[in-house]
Amino acid sequence: MVTRSPKLALYAAFAGASFLAALALGRPELAALGAPFALVLVVGLALPPPPQVTASLRPTRQLAVEGEEIDAELVVSAISPAHDLQLALLLPDGIRALGRTGSLLLHVEPGRDRTLPLRLDCAHWGAHRVGTLLLRSRDLAGLRVLDSRITGNTVVRVYPRPQQLQSLVAPAETQPFAGNRVARTKGDGIEFAGIRPYLPGDRARRINWRASAARQTLYVNQQHPERNSDVIIFLDTFAEARRQDSSTLDLAVRAAASLADHYLATRDRVGLVGFGGVVRWLAPSSGATQLYRIVDALLETEIVFSFAWKGVDVLPARSLTPQALVIALSPLLDERSVAALLDLRRRGFDLVVVDISPLAFSAQPRDPDTLAAMRLWQLWREALRFGYERLGVAVAEWDGQRPLAEVIEEVRAFRRFARYSSA
């Protein structure tokens, strides 16, 4: 919508005041002072109104990994000459324009697209809608202004950069599908499991001649088959602790993406459960497509505030497959997620909890009361972790400062020596 600029009111007031003063004082020199302002008004308003301008931001690609830079083009066009076009690019929090930080003042010829190269820094993971622009065009005299806003509809998906993991938490049980994990059961495979007496139907190549000679009867070798496992990444989205542009959910999403990447690389099937105000799930599957499905689902993960009590009953059976390893990424802030994890363990799931510590996001206590409250909270969290450990659940705290690999090693160390109580 075309609006009048402050200049119009100022010039009109000045011209009117000078003409009145000239009449009142009988001094034509004062009219000569105001006449140029009146002339600008008359000529400026007789000129065409501000031109209608269209603009769009076109990134060269819409997929990127955190920290990458992508090229984009800003294309501006006008139906009549835009002498003084002011353009501001509104970018979402996770995307930054390199070089051009402020707004632009452009001259656009009619019928000729003006293309400006831009470089965008994908600073933070997320599905970012880019291309929202604020445009302000003026007529030649600057008396009328046309403001418009163009809402961008291009989504740039920035995937979290996966962390390097030296090892993974091995699931307690395997699935019947072929994979890279040595199963506990015996069958056709590579890893030696033991020997047993020969039975009719056993292949001659499996006979262990040394054992057979020692025992004076035929023995055959047994192997562990190579199978895959199901890993469910359980993301707690009930609550988060946030400070500036980082939060526990942010860390959890990064950890989830890293774990999914590494487990899928070892031919395991990986599923995702987002447990919070909105419950989302992806049934376990394997392959690169599943990785993209998981990461896309993670990008849309957000905290949805809800009072509704939810248990694991709301999850469909196919999202939590039997004998799956469940890796929960939770700040353990919400009672519902704490209870759901205990429920999962009591139902016999092989559970690991990565406690995304909210302590790193809390303010430093300054007075003794706050300090005491903080210590009580820490004690409560320790008691909660101990409760999980009593059920045979490995719990490791992650504050985002140390590598995720360290946390995984902690979990592995616990599971190596843990004695599972009857769940």
Partner 1 sequence: MLGAIGLLCVLTALLGRGRLAGPALFTLATEYTIVEATGHSPAASVIAYAAGLIVVSELLLWSAQLPRSAAADRAVAAGRLALLTAIALAAALLALAVLAAAGLRLPGALAAALLGTAAAAALLALPWLLLRKPGSPRAREHPADAPGSEPQAAGTGGQAT
Residues forming contacts to partner 1 in the complex (CB under 8 A) are: 1-4, 6-8, 10-15, 17-19, 21, 25, 27-33, 35-42, 45-46, 48-50, 52, 79, 83-84, 86, 88, 100-107, 129, 138, 140, 142-144, 146, 148-153, 278-281, 300
**Shortest separation between residue 110's beta carbon and partner 1, angstroms:** 13
Nearer to partner 1, 147 or 406 (CB): 147
Task: Give the whole-angstrom CA distance, residue 271 versus residue 254.
Answer: 16
Nearer to partner 1, 46 or 199 (CB): 46
Q: What is the chain's length?
A: 423
User: 350-356 and 226-227 as β-strands: parallel, antiparallel, unpaired?
Assistant: unpaired
Nearer to partner 1, 39 or 376 (CB): 39
Task: Give the whole-angstrom CA distance, residue 88 versus residue 193.
Answer: 68
**Shortest separation between residue 211's beta carbon and partner 1, angstroms:** 55
Nearer to partner 1, 15 or 328 (CB): 15
Task: Give the whole-angstrom CA distance, residue 120 versus residue 57.
Answer: 11
**Shortest separation between residue 325's beta carbon and partner 1, angstroms:** 23
| Phi, psi dihedrals of residue 345, rounded to the nearest 5° | -65, -40
Nearer to partner 1, 101 or 421 (CB): 101
Nearer to partner 1, 12 or 359 (CB): 12
Of 115, 131, 113, the residue nearest 62 (C-alpha): 131
From the number of C-beta atoms within 10 Å of its C-beta (0-12, 13-18, 19+), residue 108 rates as buried
Kindly give, in sequence order, each residue whose CB lies less than 8 Å from that of residue 40, ignoring residues fewer than 6 positions away: 11, 141, 143
**Shortest separation between residue 120's beta carbon and partner 1, angstroms:** 16
Element of type H or E holding 84: strand 82-90
**Shortest separation between residue 280's beta carbon and partner 1, angstroms:** 6
**Shortest separation between residue 374's beta carbon and partner 1, angstroms:** 36
